[in-house]
Amino acid sequence: DELAPRTAELVRRRAAAMGPAYRLFYREPLELVRGEGAYVWDRAGVEYLDVYNNVPSVGHAHPRVVAAIAEQAARLNTHTRYLDEATIAYAEDLLGTFPGSLEHVMFTCSGSEANDLALRIAKAATGGGGVIVTRNAYHGGTTEVAAISPSLGGVDSLAPWTRVAHAPGGGADLHAAVASAIADLELVGIRPAALIVDTIFASDGVFPDAAGLSLAVAAIRAAGGLFIADEVQAGFGRLGGGSAGAGPAGGDDAGAAGQNGADLGLWGFARYGLEPDIVTLGKPMGNGHPVAAVVARRAPIEAFAARGRYFNTFGGNPVSIAAAQATLDVVREERFVEHARAIGPRLRRALEQIDSPRIGEVRGQGLFLGVDLVDDAGRPDEALAIEVVNALRQRRILLAASGPGNNTLKIRPPLVFNDTDASRLVGELDAVLKELS
């Protein structure tokens, strides 16, 4: 179909000014101008249900977060080498949501920077250089973390010190895969520095119950490496707490013991009863404002600090911290963890009940679900996923596909997403699948 003249013109100008390395969503790209809650509007005033964006986690344009940003921006914003009590208070507050063994937090602007810093800390602390990741992992876009992100493919080839563990999914066991990656590194004389995993395995296709993760963590530690939990996707309550392996819909208990403060169910690693050496945070942390962090045990940070210093001009500036504090306050006060825990299983069951041979497995936890689209033989159907994503966009529902076969619909809405929104999503997906088959 022809694009509307304004859309065609913006696409042309964008390509001319910004070059060919970027990608837009949808055959008919969207020009969004406003958001509120789980909804966004385009320039023509058309409303869309946002089922994709985990960054505006407490809802697009949440008034508390907007006010906090505006007030701090109107008062002062600086780089990060002055004393700022609000920053210290947020650091203390955030650390209170982690196990007591995680004693320090360092601020960055993006998840990529957080993972980059985490690798530097792990390498300094262990004296090793090898890093183990899952098979379709994405950990970010700096040179260092692109080299541990197999999902980028293409020219961003992995580093000689990267090893890919072919799990989770397909019944594979992460422990066996990590053990063989460690052996493979040792064979060529590389000491392991870290195992890093996204605790919801988003780009691997969304796996809430990865078999063997706890044993894999024990194995990396026995080999002298650290365990880094990448919570950029899973963190800040989206998974609704619970514990891994507690059945298809996850448990009703509020997560693992051993938290410093009350366990609020904010972190994916806690579902496995794990205490990581390093945790990285990003995306939802500032509800859309760029702020991210590394949370770590004291010893690795001491080892890193003994070798050098860290400075990040914008990382944890007062405006970013105001956004982060307001977001964390809203997550707790509006009880989004409980909401994700309640609505997630209902949405998941409704998706499973769609009567279509095109739906394979439905996986997930809380408000982070993956729906595999398959062909007649049950194989991943990327072409169908492209059709479904574009047809849903025409029906004013926004989502996208990912996973190793690019056939997994990623359902990851702002946490204000309610049962009415869920019914609309399920109804439209059902209609689109009928229309396409």
Shortest approach of ligand PMP to residue 129 CB, angstroms?
20
Query: Whole-number minimum distance, CB 286 to ligand PMP, in Å?
Result: 11
Residue 169 or 345 with smaller CB distance to ligand PMP: 169
Q: How far is the CB of 21 from ligand PMP (least distance, A)?
A: 15
Strands (E), 219-310: 226-230, 278-281, 292-297
Q: How far apart are CA 65 and CA 62, in angstroms?
A: 5
Of positions 140, 150, 250, 286, contacts ligand PMP by CB under 6 A: 140
CB-CB contact of 266 with 235 (8 Å): yes
Q: Are 243 and 258 in contact (CB under 8 A)?
A: no
* Residue whose CB is less far from ligand PMP, 139 or 363: 139
Cβ proximity to ligand PMP: between 60 and 139 the closer is 139
Give the separation between CA 353 and CA 339, rounded to whole angstroms.
21
Q: Cis link prior to 150 (omega < 30° from 0)? A: no
- Reduced to 3 states (helix: H, G, I; strand: E, B; else coil), residue 229 is strand
Tokens describing residue 133:
């990741």
Among 139, 175, 289, 341, indicate the residue that binds ligand PMP (CB under 6 A): 139
DSSP 123: H
348 three-state secondary structure: helix
Rounded to a whole number of angstroms, the minimum distance from the CB of residue 44 to ligand PMP is: 29
At its nearest, how many Å lie between ligand PMP and the CB of residue 141?
6
Q: Which two tokens stand for residue 215?
A: 């044993």
Nearer to ligand PMP, 53 or 72 (CB): 53
Residue 375, Cβ neighbours under 10 Å: how many?
Answer: 15
Tokens of 394: 């025409």
Element (H, E) at 425: helix 419-436
* 3 state SS of 418: coil
Beta-ladder partners of 42: 32
**134 makes contact with ligand PMP (CB under 6 A):** no
Q: Does 282 bind ligand PMP (CB under 6 A)?
A: yes
Can residue 144 be called a binding residue for ligand PMP (CB under 6 A)?
Answer: no
- Please state the closest distance from residue 309 (CB atom) to ligand PMP, in A: 22
Q: Tell me the pairing of strands 39-42 and 32-36.
A: antiparallel
Pick from 50, 116, 198, 428 the residue near ligand PMP by CB under 6 A: 198
Counting residues that bind ligand PMP (by CB under 6 A) gives 14
Residue of 87, 110, 320, 327 that binds ligand PMP (CB under 6 A): 110
Q: Which stretch binds ligand PMP (CB under 6 A): 106-114, 174-182, 310-318, 395-403?
A: 106-114
- The correct pick among 48, 52, 90, 138 for binding ligand PMP (CB under 6 A) is 138
Q: CB nearest ligand PMP: which residue?
A: 111
Contact call for residue 233 and ligand PMP (CB under 6 A): yes
Pull the structure tokens for residue 231: 């919570």
Q: Which positions touch ligand PMP (CB under 6 A)?
A: 110-112, 115, 138-141, 198, 202, 230, 232-233, 282
